[in-house]
Amino acid sequence: SCHCEEARAALVGPRCAAVCAHPMFSAVRRLAAPKRAFGLAVRHFSDAHNPPVKLFGLTARYANAAYTAASKEGSLDQVETEIAAIGSVLKSNAAFAATLANPTVGRDAKVAYLDGILGDRMSSVTKNLLLTMAANARLDELDKVTENFGDLMKAKKGIVDATVTSAAKLTKAQKTAIRKALEATLESGQQIEMDAKVDPKLLGGLQVQIGDKYMDLSVASKIDRIKRALL
């Protein structure tokens, strides 16, 4: 079918001194001391092939199993690329995603459907993951599994997600300054992957979400605190 071919193609395709002095960043810099204030704990297991962090839940079990299998085979990079591609297809190809999640399509039919798309083009780890989820009627959770696997790979690479929201679009120099300030709070070897968003309602300043930590340094929040104090 058309959406089957689209899915096949997608899955198997080719693979600042002045700025730092600005008052906007002073609070962020202060939060960088003491060092590693926002470092995210990474649990290292005795077995070198086990996931670098412990994730819980049904979808995490599939992601953990795929990580361990790929690590033992030495194919983590390949599997990461393949699973990321699957996640992209699920978001971009509604018909493909609907077929996998359709409860009226039997397990055997889904296994055959995936087997026909994948063939021998993907690694055994990725193929086994998909076929096992199909056989267990869990393909409706595939998007979450791809996210979990991505989280494991980020942890392996020491990547920490941070969302920075500002009242106006940040310049490249400002983003660099904020990233450096935030990275000063992390464990050695970790790095920030920053998502910059804009919300004019903040009026000025920043809101920062890093791991499970949240900082509201916006002008709007300061005004709100003043209003509450005057009541």
The per-residue pLDDT string of the chain (231 residues; one tens digit each, 9 = 90 and over) reads 555 555 555 555 544 444 444 444 444 444 444 344 344 444 444 478 889 888 899 999 999 999 999 999 999 999 999 999 999 999 999 998 999 999 999 988 988 888 888 877 889 999 999 999 999 999 999 999 999 999 999 999 999 899 999 999 999 999 999 889 888 888 888 899 899 999 999 888 889 998 778 888 888 777 777 767 776
How far apart, in whole angstroms, are the C-alpha atoms of residue 158 and residue 188? 9
Task: Name the token pair of 178.
Answer: 């904020």
**According to the model, what pLDDT value does residue 146 have?**
96
Residue 197 near residue 163 (C-beta atoms within 8 A): yes
Q: Which of 179, 178, 162 is nearest to 214 (CA)?
A: 162
**According to the model, what pLDDT value does residue 205 have?**
86
User: Considering Cα of 88, then 91, then 92, then 93, what sign does the dihedral take?
Assistant: positive
Q: What are phi and psi of 8, to 5 degrees?
A: -60, -45
How far apart, in whole angstroms, are the C-alpha atoms of residue 61 and residue 183? 30
**According to the model, what pLDDT value does residue 34 have?**
39
**According to the model, what pLDDT value does residue 1 have?**
56
Element housing 160 (H / E): strand 159-166
Residue 107, C-beta contacts closer than 8 angstroms, at least 6 positions apart? 134, 135, 136, 137
